[in-house]
Amino acid sequence: MIKYIIVRLALVVPTVFLLSVIVFATIHLVPGDPITVMFGIEGYYPEEVERIKKFYNLDKPIYWQYFVWLKQMATLDFGNSIVRGEPILPLITTRFPRTIMLTLGSMLVAIAFSVPLAMMAAKRHNTVIDVFISGISLTFISMPTFLLAVLMIMVFGVYLDILPTTTHRFASGSTWDVIKGLIMPCLSAGLVTSAGITRMLRTELVDNLHKDYVLFARTKGASDNRALVFHNLRNAVIATATLVGLELGYLMSGVIIIEIVFSYPGMGQLLLDGVTRRDYPIIQITVLIFALTFVVINFITDLLYSVLDPRIRYE
């Protein structure tokens, strides 16, 4: 187990390295003058250009620039936003937790819906209930996140008017406001994800239903619910864990859209801001953070996987 963690951690290092190189390269190796790329304005005076180059270390060799940049990233010295002119770090520290909150909230919704539904469908497989659940999940799978979000806004926000349609008052609101604001974004991102998980989990559960070990547990006197939870679910979850990890990645991308639809002040908004205003340092950092989060999530999924499945744990 310990070996596994260490090896897996050791694998994270090159991944992160590669990531940082790619993110760095997108700015520094794209054809054209980095200054033009970064500032998007042509026609500086040569001295001005030299000054900016010096300021941003652009006159040094590229690998040197990279290491300086890496050091800055590692020490959380993110510099200033070009457009806003304010330091980036506080922006990140307030927004990143919000995005995490949204992602985890959506995941919670996804799991809270998918596990019971999948179990219900599996227990009554090939009945009306099963077909009904399958039908619903299929509908949600094929629905784009933003469409669901817009539909929800129309129903709950406009027609029923019980939930806030935007969350831009986030910073000032009370806890209750925050929670109310989170409900729709989490639901719209989570439901789509839960549909995928439900289908996969249900298939796994049904496959396992007739495994001898489930039946053997029943002959020992386990009730069908106990057998389902202890003997079936665990094995089905192993097969589904990889999917959940991947889904979490997709969720993050879905979250960007959700943030935009609900004007949720998170990392997605920040990224959108950066892109529309060509604020390269912001883009660089948000992309890097999204990528890192993805790596960490994968790492955790893998660990979870090996905790759940002893056959892997001992490899």
CA atoms in the 13 A half-sphere facing the CB of 100:
12
Distances in Å between the alpha carbon of 28 and those of 63, 213, 230, 276, 284?
11, 57, 53, 19, 11
* Per-residue interface string for the shown chain with other proteins, residues 222-261, x marking contact by CB under 8 A: xxx-x---xx--xx--x-----------------------
Residue number with CB closer to other proteins (175 or 311): 311
Q: Which of 41, 63, 174, 210 binds other proteins (CB under 8 A)?
A: 210
- Asked whether the beta carbons of 283 and 83 are under 8 A apart, the reply is no
Q: What is the DSSP letter of 266?
A: S
Q: How many residues bind other proteins (CB under 8 A)?
A: 33
Map tokens 């997108």 to a residue. 26
Q: Which stretch binds other proteins (CB under 8 A): 147-155, 209-217, 263-271, 289-297?
A: 209-217
Amino acid at 248: L
Q: Which is nearer to other proteins, 204 or 279 (CB)?
A: 204
Instruction: Give the nearest distance from C-beta 307 to other proteins in angstroms.
Output: 10
**Which range touches other proteins (CB under 8 A), out of 47-55, 164-172, 210-218, 270-278?**
210-218
Looking at the Cβ atoms of 273 and 309, the one nearer to other proteins is: 309
Measured from the CB of residue 226, what is the shortest distance to other proteins in angstroms? Answer: 8
Site track 280-309 with other proteins (rule: CB under 8 A), x = hit: ----------------------------xx
Q: Does position 220 bind other proteins by CB under 8 A?
A: yes
- Residue with Cβ nearer other proteins (13 or 220): 220
Q: Is 2 in the site for other proteins (CB under 8 A)?
A: yes
Q: Which of residues 25-44 bind other proteins (CB under 8 A)?
A: none
Buried b (16+ CB within 10 A) or exposed e, 45-84: eeeebeebeeebebeeeeeebbeebeeebeeeebbebbee
Q: By C-alpha distance, which of 298, 305, 239, 285 is closest to 93?
A: 285
Whether 186 and 107 have beta carbons less than 8 Å apart is answered as no
Q: Indicate the DSSP class of residue 31.
A: S
Does 130 contact other proteins by CB under 8 A? no
DSSP-assigned beta bridge partners for residue 80:
87
Contact 254, 189 (CB under 8 A): yes
Nearer to other proteins, 171 or 215 (CB): 215
Residue 227, by phi and psi: left (phi above 0), alpha (psi -120 to 50) or beta?
alpha
Residue 1 interacts with other proteins (CB under 8 A)? yes
Nearer to other proteins, 217 or 261 (CB): 217
Indicate whether 3 belongs to the interface with other proteins (CB under 8 A): yes
Binding interface with other proteins (CB under 8 A): 1-4, 125-126, 209-213, 215-224, 226, 230-231, 234-235, 238, 308-311, 314-315
